[in-house]
Amino acid sequence: MKKILLLIILFFFSCSLIAQDRGHLVIIGGGDKPDYVLQKIINFAGGIDAKIIVMGDFNDGPKSNSIKTLVNNNDLFNPMLNLHAFDRGTTNYDFAWDLFDQILFSTNLFKKKDDGITYVNTNIFDADFLKQFHGKYKGQPFRTYVGKKYQGGYSDHFPVYMIIKKPANL
């Protein structure tokens, strides 16, 4: 539990490093959104030159048409493409891995300017303590519930994270 709390704190600290004085947090869910909704979010964030991070459970893999369309239509980079593999993912269904949890960001997020912040990598946090440790589902996410039965685990998905680096002089 302490490790998860530390990851959450580190995530929010990392986000604060790249937040601008007038940055915005927009939380939106519920599946596909019309283009005009996405455009309103982009405008709210600062327009076409805004630095944007999109993350969450997309219920689609990085190679799906919906994700490709989102990336291509909004000038986003999808580092999750490099993580998509047969033997690794964020969730497992019928013993097949999927990478539904993703982090996408605008291509200008790490362009060299005054801030000098650079992208290091993105990965799946699939530490052993988050995995089912025995039985038929060994190695899969240790779920909190299976149906209505409490299991005591964390989630049916592994979290994903992005590492960024700031210069020492900031």
How many domains, in total, are found in the chain?
1
Average pLDDT over residues 13-29: 55
Tokens 């994700």: give the residue. 67
Residue 29 lies in a domain: yes
Q: How far apart are the first and last CA of the chain?
A: 31
Residue 170 pLDDT greater than 90, yes or no:
no
Give the pLDDT score at 9.
Answer: 40
The better pLDDT of the pair 55, 19 is held by: 55
**Residue 104 near residue 70, CB atoms below 8 Å:** yes
Please give the full DSSP string across 71-91, using - where no structure is assigned. HHHTTEE-GGGGT-BTTB-SE
Residue 134 lies in a domain: yes
157: containing domain: 2-165
Residue 2 pLDDT greater than 70, yes or no:
no
Q: Is residue 158 packed enough to be buried (19+ CB in 10 Å), middle (13-18) or exposed (0-12)?
A: buried
